[in-house]
Amino acid sequence: METNTLTASEGALLGMLAQGERSGYDLSRRVEDSIGYLWSPSRSQIYRILPRLVDRGLAHSREVEQRRRPDKALYALTAAGRHALRAWLEEVEDEPADRTVYPLKIFFCDFASPEAALAQLAAYRRFLERLLTRYREIEARPTDTRFLYPRLVLAHGITRVTSTLAWIDDATVTIEQQGARSARA
């Protein structure tokens, strides 16, 4: 049973299962109502991933009989799945294929540690600072004044990155303050 190297989708589904036993349909609805703004898999993608998690021993399933409807499978996290989720949350990627991996992992850090969340925030900050540097370099180049919209989109990118950097600062302070309160209690 290999528990290493989860994809972002596998890690997110394990995170959703850590919140409680669910069917594939329930997972799809829960994603829409919670992290759909970050990660929005198709229902068919969820149904493809769940059996893989079961085959790897990271989740288990049980059939539930239903009246006037087809039976459904409910999925739950196993101890190995909880361990794999925690390892995925603690793994920090410096150059992820998709920048949403940082907030996606932070979303599930209740199942890891404050240190894991702080490490993800710090990596996200470094990633965004590199991105902002690239945006500023583009902004400093001479422009063709015939084209307005590329500049507007660049300004959008700069605004989004600087806003997210401010959020990272706020989130870091909140987590550190929570840790200090917990240590005093």
Give 36-102 as a 3 state SS string.
Answer: CCCCCCCHHHHHHHHHHHHHCCCEEEEEECCCCCCCEEEEEECHHHHHHHHHHHHCCCCCCCCCCHH
Q: What would the mean pLDDT of 91-107 be, rounded to a whole number?
A: 92
Total count of residues recorded for the chain = 185
Q: Spell 33-53 as b/e; 16+ CB within 10 A means b.
A: eebeebbebeeeebbebbeeb
Helix 8-18 crosses helix 24-33 at what angle (to 10 degrees)? 100
Q: Which residues contact 51 (CB under 8 A, 6 or more apart)?
A: none
Q: How confident is the model at residue 4 (pLDDT cuts 50, 70, 90)?
A: low
How many of the other CB atoms lie within 10 Å of CB of 71?
A: 8
Residues 109-151: pLDDT tens digits? Answer: 999 999 999 999 999 999 999 999 999 999 999 988 889 999 9
pLDDT surpassing 80 at residue 167: yes
pLDDT surpassing 50 at residue 71: yes
pTM: 0.88
pLDDT surpassing 80 at residue 2: no
- In angstroms, the CA 56 to CA 138 distance is 45
Q: Which residues contact 136 (CB under 8 A, 6 or more apart)?
A: 158
Residue 5: per-residue pLDDT = 84
pLDDT surpassing 80 at residue 3: no
- In angstroms, the CA 60 to CA 74 distance is 8
Residues 20-59: pLDDT tens digits? Answer: 999 999 999 999 999 999 899 999 999 999 999 999 999 9
Residue 179: per-residue pLDDT = 80
